[in-house]
């Protein structure tokens, strides 16, 4: 499909758009007339590059490994002078053996998951926040597993802890923003069939992502922090 550039509905800077939910969100936002600046981790061609071929005027691809502070600073420099309605950090990971308990997890895996899922999104947000319009939105992909209140069954312990930490850091960030007009969002998409979600996840990407994007766009213009699922329901902390 080829698409000529008319006036875009808005511009989103989408961090982690090479595959999975991030890629599918990019595709859905393009269908809805948005302009997407999407990041991929490495130099190799990804699904986002395939997508960009169909929307040459509305997709830009940048490179970023969110765990590399120098790369975050370099991206900030490259994007100087730009303005986005939405900054959304989707990039995330899980530990190799999701069944292991927290004490069984290797220090290396613990650090990798926590740095990727909790520390790095906050570094990205702090570094790029001033590129977001004053009434725009800053969002990040959390998970229902980040809810402490809903954790009655345990499991996926390292991953849960990383998303709970992410939620806490977004609350810290929100508390520091005072009365700013920006919307802040922690999105829990549900269990979706992706590489991370695995083949047993009950919901396909194509069924989940239109709702995920509906919920994302519905938060625009609503100042303050929300933690919501893909139906727009508040998730208890
Ligand atoms: N699928 C689910 O059921 C589910 C449920 C709740 C929340 N989530 C969250 O949704 C987000 C996307 O997950 P997914 O299911 O789409 O997983 P996925 O298919 O494994 O995709 C993960 C994405 O994150 C990127 N990424 C990972 N580490 C990165 C890094 N250090 N720097 C930059 N990008 C990095 C990957 O890039 P590469 O291609 O370079 O690896 C890829 O684009 C994650 O935050 C995840 O925790 C997923």
Structural domains for the chain: 11-229 (3.40.50.720)
| CA distance linking residue 2 with residue 62, whole number of Å | 21
| CA distance linking residue 236 with residue 148, whole number of Å | 8
Residue 91 Cα to ligand 1 middle (Å): 5
Q: Which of 51, 61, 70, 92 to mutate for ligand 1's pocket (most ligand atoms within 8 Å of CB)?
A: 92
CA nearest 188: which of 146, 157, 138? 146
Residue 20 Cα to ligand 1 middle (Å): 7
Decide whether any atom of ligand 1 lies within 6 Å of the 189 Cβ.
yes
Mean pLDDT, consecutive 10-residue segments, the chain of 237 residues? 61 98 98 98 98 97 98 98 98 93 96 98 98 97 98 97 98 94 97 97 98 98 97 98
| CA distance linking residue 212 with residue 219, whole number of Å | 11
Decide whether any atom of ligand 1 lies within 6 Å of the 146 Cβ.
no
Residue 107 Cα to ligand 1 middle (Å): 21
Nearest CA to ligand 1 atom 46: 92
| CA distance linking residue 8 with residue 55, whole number of Å | 12
Alpha helices in 63-176 (DSSP H): 69-78, 107-114, 120-128, 157-176
Distances (CA, A) of 72 to 25, 37, 48, 62, 126: 22, 15, 20, 11, 10
83: part of which helix (H) or strand (E)? none
Angle at 73 between CA 167 and CA 170, to 5 degrees: 10
Residues constituting the chain: 237
CA nearest 141: which of 76, 190, 180, 177? 190
- φ/ψ region of 183 (left if φ > 0, alpha if ψ in -120 to 50, else beta) reads beta
Q: What is the pLDDT of residue 6?
A: 53
Q: Are 39 and 16 in contact (CB under 8 A)?
A: yes
| CA distance linking residue 53 with residue 18, whole number of Å | 14
Q: Are 124 and 13 in contact (CB under 8 A)?
A: no
Q: What is the pLDDT of residue 179?
A: 84
DSSP state of 233: P
DSSP state of 84: E
Q: What is the pLDDT of residue 72?
A: 98
Cβ-Cβ contacts under 8 Å for 141 (sequence gap 6 or more): 16, 21, 22, 88, 89, 90, 91, 92, 187, 189
């Amino acid at each position: 499909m080829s698409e000529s550039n008319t006036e875009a509905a808005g511009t989103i800077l989408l961090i982690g758009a090479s595959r999975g939910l991030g890629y599918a969100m990019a595709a859905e936002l393009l269908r809805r007339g948005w302009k997407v600046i999407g990041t991929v981790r490495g130099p190799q061609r990804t699904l986002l590059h395939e997508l960009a071929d169909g929307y040459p005027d509305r997709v830009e691809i940048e490179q970023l490994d969110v765990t590399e502070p120098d790369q975050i600073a370099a991206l900030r420099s490259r994007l100087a002078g730009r303005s986005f309605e939405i900054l959304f950090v989707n990039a995330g990971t899980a530990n190799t053996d999701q069944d292991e308990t927290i004490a069984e997890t290797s220090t290396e895996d613990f650090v990798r998951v926590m740095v990727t899922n909790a520390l790095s999104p906050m570094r990205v947000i702090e570094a790029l926040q001033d590129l977001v319009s004053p009434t725009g939105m800053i969002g990040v992909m959390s998970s229902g597993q980040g809810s402490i209140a809903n954790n009655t069954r345990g499991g996926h312990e390292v991953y849960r802890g990383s998303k709970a930490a992410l939620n806490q850091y977004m609350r810290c960030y929100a508390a520091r923003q005072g009365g700013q007009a920006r919307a802040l969002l922690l999105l829990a998409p549900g269990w979706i069939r992706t590489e991370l979600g695995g083949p047993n996840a009950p919901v396909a990407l194509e069924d989940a992502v239109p709702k995920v994007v509906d919920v994302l766009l519905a938060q625009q213009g609503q100042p303050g922090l929300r933690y919501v699922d893909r139906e727009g329901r508040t998730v208890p902390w």
